Chains A and B, each alone.
Chain A
Amino acid sequence: MIYEPTVARLTYRALLGRRRAAILFVLPALLIAISAAVRLLTGADDQIASDVLGGFAIATMVPLIGVIAGTGAIGPEIDDGSIVYLLAKPVKRSTIIFTKLIVAIAVTMAFSAIPTFVAGLILNGNGGQIAIAYTVAALVASVAYSAIFLLLGTVSRHAVVFGLVYALVWETLFGSLVPGARTLSVQQWALSLAERIGENGTITSDVALPTATILLALVTVAATWYAGQKLRTLKLAGEE
C-alpha cells in the first residue's frame, strides 16, 4: 500500500470542488449553530451536551460527511469514466484505493471531528471530557465510514443513495428500534471508545470496547481490500 500524491491531489480537488462539497460546510455550521443556541438557552450541562453531540454530531453528521467524502472520492470518476486516466497508468490499483481512502478519511475527519470538538467546547467547555470523547468517536468513525463508503462508491452507481440509507435508516432509525442492529453499527463502535473517555457515565454504547475495536479494524481493512479488488476488474459503464 503506497500513498500516491498525484492521485491524492486529484481526489482532494474533485471532492472539495464539487457542488456536493457544500454539504461538507453546511452540516458542521449547523452543528455549531445548534450548540450555540442550546448553550444560550439552557446553559452548560453535561447531559445536554452529550445528547446534542451524540444525537446530531455522531449519529447524523459524521455518517453523512462520511457518505459525501467516501463515495465522492471515487464514485463520480467511475460514473463519468474519467477514472480511466488513473487506471491506464503503471500504478497499482490498491495504491489508488489506499490513497483515496486516506483522502476520504482526512476530509471526513476535518469536517466532522473538528466541528464536533468546537461544538463540545461551546456546549459545556469540555466538561466531563465530553468534547474530547465525542471528538475521538468522530475520528474513529471517520476511518470506518470512509472505508465503507469508498467501497460503496466503487461497487455501485447509486452509492450516495445506499450510503444515505445506511447512514440514516440503519444507523439512526433501525439501530434505535432493533437492539441487535446496534452491534453492527459504526456509530456504536465509535461510542464504545467515547464511553471510556467521557466521565460520569454520560456516554453509553451497546458494544464492548474489544468487540468494537476488532469490528472497526476488520470492516476498515476488509472494505479497503475489497474495493481494491473491485477496481482491478472494474468495467467502465456506458460501453457498447
Chain B
Amino acid sequence: MTTIDIDHTSRWFGNVVAVNDITMRVGPGVTGLLGPNGAGKSTLINMMGGFLAPSTGTVTLDGKPIWRNESVYKEIGIVPEREAMYDFLTGREFVVANAELHGLTAGAAQQALATVEMEYAQDRKIATYSKGMRQRVKMASALVHNPSVLLLDEPFNGMDPRQRMQLMELLRRMGAEGRTVLFSSHILEEVEQLASHIEVIVAGRHAASGDFRKIRRLMTDRPHRYLVRSSDDRALAAALIADPSTAGIEVDLAEGALRIQAVDFGRFTALLPQVARAHGIRLLTVSPSDESLESVFSYLVAA
C-alpha cells in the first residue's frame, strides 16, 4: 500500500501561483487528475515526482519527503508528458538502460516491453516511432522496476483510439493489482472511462474530489456549447431545436456555422448524428467551443 500525501502544498513561479494550497491523498487504484490546460496539473505531478520543490507544504510518499530524495524512485515510475527520449537508441536499448539504472537486468526490460506489447518494434530506433509507440516505450521504462506508484502526465495525448484503449486497459490492470496510479488529463471522457477516483484542479486550486458520477453531474448539469458545420445549417438547426435537449441555436453567418447550446449533454450527443442522418445532412465539423471547456471548469469552481 503506497500513498502519496499532498499537504497544504503551494507552488509559485515568480508572481504566478501554479498550485494553490492543495491537500489531497492519492492511494491505491486509478486516480484521474482532471483540469483544463494550465491548471497546474503538471506542476502537481512534478512535485509528486520529485522534480519540483513545493514552495510551501509537503509532498510525501508513505511519510517520506519526495523532494531531494532519490530513493523514492525505487517505488515510483514516471511517464513524462514530454516527447523527448533518447531517440538514437532502439526501444529495447532504451528500456534496458532504464532497467540498468534501477540495478536490474535486461530480463526486466524484456518483461516490461512485453507488458506494453512493444516487442515487435523493440529493435527499431525510437526516432522512427509513432507517438503511441513512444508512449508505450515510456510506459515500459516506467514499469521496468515494478513500481508501486505510477505517475503519468497526459498519457493519452496524441494517441489513436486503439492505442488509447490498450493503455487504459493496462492502467486499469495496474490499478486492480493494488498499485497507486495517477494520470492527468484535460478531457473528462478520458478520465471517467478509467479513473475510479477523480481530483479536479482549476487555476491551481483543488476544485472537486470524488467518484466520476459526482464529478460528471457537476459538469454536465450546465449548458454545453458546440460549434457545428454541416451541408445545410438551417435545416439542421430547425430539426435540432425541436428537441428539448437543445436550448438555443445561433446561425453564425460570418463563421458559416451553428452555435448550439445543449442542456442535456448525453441526449444531445446521441441526437445530433441521428437528426443529421434522418434529414440527409452531412456533418462537417462538430466541436465543443473552446470557451466551453473552460466554462465547464469555471462552473465547477463556482459550484
Residues of chain A touching chain B, judged by Cβ–Cβ distance below 8 Å, are 4-7, 9-10, 13-14, 17, 80-82, 84-93, 232-236, 238-240
Which residues of chain B come closer than 8 Å to A6, judged between CB atoms? 97, 100-101
Interface centre among B46, B84, B85, B102 (most CB of A within 10 A): B84
B43 within 8 A of partner (CB): yes
Chain B interface extent, by class:
20 to 34
Report whether B51 and A236 are in contact in the complex, using a CB–CB cutoff of 8 Å: yes
The 5 closest A-B pairs by CB, nearest first: A80-B84, A89-B101, A6-B100, A81-B82, A82-B84
B271 within 8 A of partner (CB): no
Distance A81 CA – B46 CA, assembled complex (angstroms) = 13
Which residues of chain B come closer than 8 Å to A14, judged between CB atoms? 86, 88
Report whether A240 and B43 are in contact in the complex, using a CB–CB cutoff of 8 Å: yes
Report whether B70 and A89 are in contact in the complex, using a CB–CB cutoff of 8 Å: yes
Report whether B18 and A86 are in contact in the complex, using a CB–CB cutoff of 8 Å: no
Distance A7 CA – B49 CA, assembled complex (angstroms) = 20
Which residues of chain B come closer than 8 Å to A92, judged between CB atoms? 70
What are 19 of the A-B contact pairs (CB < 8 Å)? A7-B101, A17-B88, A80-B82, A82-B82, A82-B86, A84-B78, A84-B82, A85-B141, A87-B50, A88-B78, A89-B73, A89-B101, A91-B70, A234-B51, A235-B52, A236-B46, A238-B82, A240-B41, A240-B42
Report whether A81 and B101 are in contact in the complex, using a CB–CB cutoff of 8 Å: no
Residues of chain B touching chain A, judged by Cβ–Cβ distance below 8 Å, are 18, 38, 40-43, 46, 49-53, 68, 70-71, 73-74, 76-78, 80, 82, 84-86, 88-89, 97-98, 100-103, 141
Residue from B43, B51, B74 within 8 A of A84 (CB atoms): B51
Distance A193 CA – B100 CA, assembled complex (angstroms) = 40
Report whether B86 and A10 are in contact in the complex, using a CB–CB cutoff of 8 Å: yes
